Amino acid sequence: MYATLVLDQIWKIRNKAIFENATFSLEATMERLKTRFEETRNLANKKSVEVSAFSPSRSEWRNPPSQCIRINTDAAVKGGATTFFREVASAAESGWDFSTRWMRNRARFTTMATTSILPVDLNAFILGMELDIASLAEAVADYNTSTKYFEASRVREEAMRSVFWNAEMGQWLHYWLMNSACKEVEKWQAQNQNQEAFASNFVPLWIKSFYSDSFLVDKVMKSLKNSGLLCAAGVATSLTNSGEQWDFPNGWAPLQHMLVEGLARTGSTEAKLLAKDIAIRWIRTNYVAYKKTRTMHEKYNVEKIGDFGGGGEYEPQTGFGWSNGVVLTFLEDFGWPKDLTIDCCDA
């Protein structure tokens, strides 16, 4: 919520600067943000309910109208349609709709158990927001809020290192909750870490708390290289070719961007070179696909340079905002090596 307010304010400033040639006062902007933080916090406190860290509140989902249901798998849901649709809705809300990362049995769509997973990437995003809120609050001398969120970020970072980090694999692993009712605190068990490789396992490297840790960066970088996810045209979303769009062989622009940006921000020369290598692969496949189809695509097949992605529940989309933005960012950050052609011949 707080991060949304910040982004909204930044967007308004940007639009005024571009379209109205307006200037802005940092002091006034921070004061407005402080006021909105207070309003939002007061509103949230009126509606908040105490929930323990491992006992998430759960919405009860009503089944959608029958005419709206089209399940193209073995989804003969027995005795739990409401629960199933809750899991599907939660997976869709995650942005990864759909992926085997949400399924207890990768071969069966109906084993989706999204609300029984502690996700690595979501916690990384929240950690980043907590750090941003703390820094912004400190900048406007709201030290109570700053202290609160710095402490929250410290606790979350510690939890991520304890619950998700797998030193042997050199990755952060999603964690399965075995007590799906979440009525009591669970004891951490190593076997509940999902040891399947997903691009999301490396997303915490995007956060300063982790990319500033040189020892950890070295392990994560080597793990990414050896994971099987790094392909000719970028980083695959998973290693499972399920037919779902957030699985192999698809690669998605936001994931490439987070991994590249995290690697590039480290103090490691080797990690910076890996970031540039991934960026080059991604720029090339976008360019070759554009030359063939005259459009940008929402996802790409990372096995083959210039091939856009498929799978999932709808026709592949073109356009495409995040693909355009990530390619432009990579070109701005890395340029294009003069000794390389940008077609697929020297891939």
pLDDT tens readout for residues 92-118: 999 999 999 999 999 999 899 999 999
Indicate the average pLDDT of the chain.
Answer: 87
Query: CA–CA separation, 152 vs 172, rounded Å?
Result: 20
pLDDT reading at 64 higher than 50: yes
Query: Percentage of the chain with pLDDT > 70?
Result: 83
Q: Kindly indicate the confidence band of residue 135, based on its pLDDT and cuts at 50, 70 and 90.
A: very high
pLDDT of amino acid 66: 57
What are residue 230's DSSP bridge partners?
A: 235
pLDDT of amino acid 28: 80
Average pLDDT over residues 29-50: 67
Query: CA–CA separation, 161 vs 141, rounded Å?
Result: 30
DSSP result, 198-238: BGGGGGGGGSHHHHT-HHHHHHHHHHHHHSS-EETTEE-SB
pLDDT of amino acid 65: 59
pLDDT of amino acid 212: 96
DSSP three-state, residue 277: helix
pLDDT reading at 57 higher than 50: no
Contact 288, 277 (CB under 8 A): no
At 320-334, the pLDDT tens digits run 899 999 999 999 999
Query: CA–CA separation, 196 vs 199, rounded Å?
Result: 10
Higher pLDDT, 14 or 306: 306
Q: Kindly indicate the confidence band of residue 60, based on its pLDDT and cuts at 50, 70 and 90.
A: low
pLDDT reading at 67 higher than 70: no
Q: Identify the DSSP state of 198.
A: B
pLDDT reading at 68 higher than 70: no
Query: CA–CA separation, 310 vs 246, rounded Å?
Result: 10
CB atoms within 10 A of CB 248: 23
Q: Of 234, 263, 266, 262, nearest to 250 (Cα)?
A: 234
How far, in Å, are 5, 29, 137, 279, 335 from residue 295 at the CA level?
A: 33, 38, 42, 19, 21
Contact 193, 172 (CB under 8 A): no
pLDDT of amino acid 26: 75
pLDDT of amino acid 154: 97
Q: Is 142 a catalytic residue?
A: no
Query: CA–CA separation, 229 vs 200, rounded Å?
Result: 11
Query: CA–CA separation, 87 vs 52, rounded Å?
Result: 21
Phi, psi of 24 (to 5 degrees): -140, 155
DSSP three-state, residue 241: coil
Higher pLDDT, 340 or 4: 340
pLDDT of amino acid 180: 63
pLDDT reading at 343 higher than 70: yes
Average pLDDT over residues 29-58: 61
Query: CA–CA separation, 282 vs 231, rounded Å?
Result: 10
Q: Of 234, 224, 182, nearest to 203 (Cα)?
A: 224
Q: Is 298 a catalytic residue?
A: yes
pLDDT of amino acid 346: 45
Catalytic position from the list 247, 261, 298, 307: 298
Query: CA–CA separation, 238 vs 197, rounded Å?
Result: 6
Q: Kindly indicate the confidence band of residue 286, based on its pLDDT and cuts at 50, 70 and 90.
A: very high
Catalytic position from the list 87, 97, 121, 130: 97
Average pLDDT over residues 279-298: 96
**Structure pTM?**
0.81
In this predicted structure, which of 65-74, 292-301, 332-341 has the lowest mean pLDDT? 65-74
Residue 245 half-sphere exposure toward CB, CA atoms < 13 A: 20
Query: CA–CA separation, 223 vs 219, rounded Å?
Result: 6
CB atoms within 10 A of CB 227: 19
Contact 320, 311 (CB under 8 A): no
Contact 171, 197 (CB under 8 A): yes
pLDDT reading at 2 higher than 70: no
